[in-house]
Amino acid sequence: ERISYREHMTDSLDPNILQQVQMMLRRDLKLGADAVLPEDMPFFGGDVDLDSLDMLLLVTSIERQFGVRISNQAVGKEAFQTVATLTRFVQAHAAQTTPAASPAQETNWLSRLPHGEAFRFVSRVIEVRPGQSAKGAWTLTGNEAFFGGHFPGNPIVPGVLIAEALAQISGLAGADSDQRGGKLVHVDVRFEQPAIPPVEIELNAKITASLGALQTCDVWAQVGPTIVARGLITLHRGDGGAK
């Protein structure tokens, strides 16, 4: 059931939530630790003028930190007016939960990738929950051509290709059986352990926020129980594939 933001808006601000929101704004908007963010500071037309990517990054952080699901764009716009309105939105919706969706029906998900076989870094798709998540695997034998230069005698799976593989599985998380991938617009992936061939890398993507055509995924790659890379990938849903 959709809940009206105005019906749940309170007059007072929780100082703890306010402080967390202000810290989040300083971090995600790169304003600096000493930036002054008064409660009535507007998000549009003032010193801070949010664009779509800024809002998407903030939505992702809010959903991660507070467990708040911002799925209705009208509510999102109403909440993102000032520091105070955003804080009140978090207060009003922090206890809400979203029911899980049922697994996707069988389909040839690899055919949904717009890439040719030579630039496809998903060997098999394990599971897709359209609009929610996707899991796949990239299997490498060690005989792939790029290992000849990365690094001779001591091959390591290139991090940039792991990031591309995560972008491709992210495209499947947001696609249905009639859609093809999405354009890659933002990557923030850190690499924690090397992946050494022969190896099978499990690829995971979970959609955490959507705003218009933009969609952000939590992504991680692992070898067995070991995480080798994790981060965020943002795609623009539309014609074309990941760059």
Mutual orientation of helices 83-93 and 52-66 as an angle, nearest 10°? Answer: 40
pLDDT of residue 179: 56
Residue 38, token pair as written in the block:
């008064």
Angstrom CA distances, 110 to 1, 8, 98, 138, 220, stand at 35, 44, 28, 12, 19
> pLDDT per position in the chain (243 positions), as tens?
333 444 444 458 888 888 888 888 888 888 877 788 999 999 888 778 888 888 888 888 787 778 777 765 545 667 888 999 988 888 887 755 444 443 444 467 888 887 778 899 999 898 999 889 999 999 998 989 999 898 888 999 999 999 999 999 999 998 764 555 578 899 999 999 999 999 999 999 999 988 888 999 999 999 988 999 999 999 997 654 444
Distance between CA atoms of residues 137 and 125, nearest Å: 6
pLDDT of residue 228: 96
CB 22 within 8 A of CB 37: yes
Residue 170, token pair as written in the block:
């992210």
**Sheet architecture: strand order including 124-129:** 124-129, 133-140, 199-211, 214-223, 226-236, 183-191
CB 163 within 8 A of CB 229: yes
Q: Which amino acid appears at position 220 of this protein? A: W
CB 209 within 8 A of CB 216: yes
Position of tokens 């992946």?
A: 195
pLDDT of residue 101: 40
pLDDT of residue 194: 95
How far, in whole angstroms, is CA 17 from its chain's centroid? 23
pLDDT of residue 115: 78
For residue 193, the 8-state DSSP code is S
Candidate list 8, 93, 115, 150, residue with the active-site label = 150
Record the pTM. Answer: 0.63
Is position 93 annotated as part of the catalytic site?
Answer: no
**Residues 6 or more apart from 45 whose CB is under 8 A from it?**
none
Report the chain's terminal Cα–Cα distance, integer Å: 38
pLDDT of residue 202: 95
Q: CA 22, 64, 127: angle at the middle one, nearest 5?
A: 160
Position of tokens 């207060």?
A: 91
